[in-house]
Amino acid sequence: MSSPAVAAPAPSRHVLAPAMALAGILLVALNLRTAVTSLGALLDEVRVGLHLSGALAGMVTTLPALSFAAFGALTPWLTRRFTPARVLVGAMGALAVGEVLRATTHSAAIFVALSALALAGIAVANVLLPVMVKTYFPGRAGLVTGVYTMTLTAGTTAAAAASVPIAEAFGSWRAGLGVWAVIAVVAMLPWLRAGLRRTPPGTRSSAAALDRVHPGRKRLGWAMAVYFGTQSLSGYATMGWLAQIFRDADYSPTTAGLLLAGVTGVGVPIALLMPAMAQRMRNLRSLVIAMSVAMVASYVGLALAPRGGAIAWVVLLAIGQGAFPLALAMIGMRARTSEGTVALSAFAQSTGYLIAALGPFVVGVLYESTAGWVVPIAFLVVAAVVQGFAGVFAAKRRFIED
């Protein structure tokens, strides 16, 4: 059962029609990982082209999670001063500018700085989308969250798959990175008219309400942050190391890549259905526990028999990573108001991404120091167990404003 719905915004010149709002939400969602996966696909070419040192190359790979944490925390401050539509326009503008300019620079340091600018736009949009869903679609929040999460996944996959062919077609990695700015510009359009208007009446009272919500002082806020962070830790570790696990189990690089892609493929329908399912349930503990159990089972299988049951472990891991759309849905379900959703979303995501940044790094260190996968996977099992406990606490029907 969902939380009490936030009243739909009264019709005014500052509010988009539902169809336009849905288009705006989905276009923004399409952009939320393109700057990350396009760079991941072309990292070797970028490293050679800009003569990136090992330290800078390492910084580039950890920059997304750190940027999401740092800049996502600024979103409540922005929404106190500007309407959400205006903030989204600015976020997509920062993303577009960052993507274009980093594709033109010849300086490694400036490239990193412009990547941070692009990621800052994504970080703010990460926090705001659950708020826009709750504001414009209070009665269908689960369905819309599922659709935008699926759209996010599609954008992630498209950027990973198409960046190299685009770079090859144009003869430069710069084209493979810069082309995604076009989608960011398009994502600005649905919000542009509302975003450029003067701040509507009531913004000051909304800011005052936001000032009264402090997730960092409440157990629910920390439970949501730990739940979001540990499931994201698993996701980042999977993206970084799952293919290597299968390659070490004597799969070919092509097959290992396909198995990694299978996690995303199986996860698409889960991303669509999970939030809607959560909205219909009074208590989410069974879903939380099921996600964590599936993840633990997948990790144990990868440690003991990575070759014998690869398909089963991929499917179980995809089910376990259904915790991501579930966490996004829970952000809206654990707040009574849009102001509460902004505060909880910012705290859970910014703190959570700090936790998530540890994933690939710790797994890599443990893998190198032990020359095997048992200890790194044991670390991921512990994270999944912590995720389960935090999620069970957050699953109880309560609200951050209480």
Give residue-wise pLDDT tens across range 325-336. 999 889 888 888
pLDDT over 80 (residue 209): no
pLDDT given at position 201:
40
Please tell me which residue, 340 or 374, carries the higher pLDDT value: 374
Please tell me which residue, 112 or 139, carries the higher pLDDT value: 112
pLDDT given at position 333:
87
Per-residue pLDDT, averaged over 1-5, amounts to: 38
Q: What are the structural domains of the chain?
A: 13-211 (1.20.1250.20), 214-402 (1.20.1250.20)
pLDDT given at position 203:
44
pLDDT over 70 (residue 148): yes
Per residue in 217-266, pLDDT (tens digit) is 889 899 999 999 999 999 888 877 888 888 888 888 778 878 887 888 88
231, two tokens: 């499931």
Least confident of 12-26, 188-202, 262-276, 372-386: 188-202
Q: Residue 149: name the closest of 389, 324, 391, 382 by CA.
A: 324
Count the Cβ atoms, other than its own, within 10 Å of residue 111: 23
Query: Which helix or strand (DSSP H or E) is residue 292 part of?
Result: helix 285-304
- Percentage of the residues of the chain whose pLDDT score is greater than 90: 41
Does residue 229 contact residue 356 with C-beta atoms inside 8 Å?
Answer: yes
pLDDT given at position 302:
94
Q: How confident is the model at residue 59 (pLDDT cuts 50, 70, 90)?
A: confident
Q: What CA–CA distances, in Å, run from 33 to 118, 149, 232?
A: 10, 11, 14
Mean pLDDT over all residues of the chain? 86
